[in-house]
Amino acid sequence: MYAITGATGNTGRVIAEKLLAQGQKVRVIGRDAGRLGPLVQKGAEAFVVDVADAASLTKALIGAKAVYAMIPPNNAASDMRAYQERVSDSLVAATKNAGVEYAVTLSSIGADKPDKTGPVVGLHNLEQKLNGIASLKVLHLRAGYFMENLLPQVGVIQNSGMVGGPLRSDLSVAMIATRDIGAVAAEALSKLNFTGKQARELQGQRSLTYQEVASVIGKAIDLLSGPGGLAS
């Protein structure tokens, strides 16, 4: 049986759906029973759990051979780094106490660095904590920048023709769509052919600059809103 944390998120949902389509037994873990409903309708077992609660999460992982482990986003957290540490401690304790054999984690490019990477430090620490479980076989997926994170820029591009952000417009950035991350994670979980403690970087077809991003999204906006477009 597979346990998927963050099962209603962009990557977790893809993983759950792909494993269910293979006829696998899947336990989906999330904070909202309503959002888990569509996966339950497809055959999943739902556990409504706060992933920062190690005791409850342990119960959700009991019986699972493999877990997809991630730190769900929490924009309401007053201290993001403290939140990350609470969740990673809970994930590690639950994985160990439930006797899970395999884990695939959602990490990030830069998680090999112990500091000076902002919130990615929390993913570095998650990797190190899981690596400390001697019996656990773990694959850390170090993904590039999520393309979906660019969606809030649509309004900025539409109104001003530019992308707002802290990076130079000509700096190439490794990006990847979350559905592709989910597909890789689902395949790894399905095969369970990794051993020891491994890390794998995930990037899209090529890196993109913000100039290119603005151009691509701008053309898509024109296509959707122009005469005969989907939004017309």
Reported as a single tens digit per residue, the pLDDT across 54-83 is: 999 999 999 999 999 999 999 889 999 999
In this predicted model, what pLDDT tens digit does every residue of 166-199 receive, in sequence order? 788 889 999 999 999 999 999 999 999 999 999 9
Pairing state between β 102-108 and 145-146: unpaired
3-state secondary structure the chain: CEEECCCCCHHHHHHHHHHHHCCCCEEEEECCHHHHHHHHHCCCEEEECCCCCHHHHHHHHCCCCEEEECCCCCCCCCCHHHHHHHHHHHHHHHHHHCCCCEEEEEEECCCCCCCCCCCHHHHHHHHHHHHCCCCCEEEEEEECEEHHHHHHHHHHHHHHCCCCCCCCCCCCECEECHHHHHHHHHHHHHHCCCCCEEEEEECCCCCECHHHHHHHHHHHHHHHHCCCCCCC
Q: Give me the sign of the Cα torsion angle 31, 33, 38, 39.
A: positive
**Which has the higher per-residue pLDDT, 218 or 181?**
181
Q: How confident is the model at residue 223 (pLDDT cuts 50, 70, 90)?
A: low
In this predicted model, what pLDDT tens digit does every residue of 121-168 receive, in sequence order? 999 999 999 999 999 999 999 999 999 988 887 887 778 777 777 788
pLDDT of residue 232: 31
What is the pTM for the complete model shown?
0.90
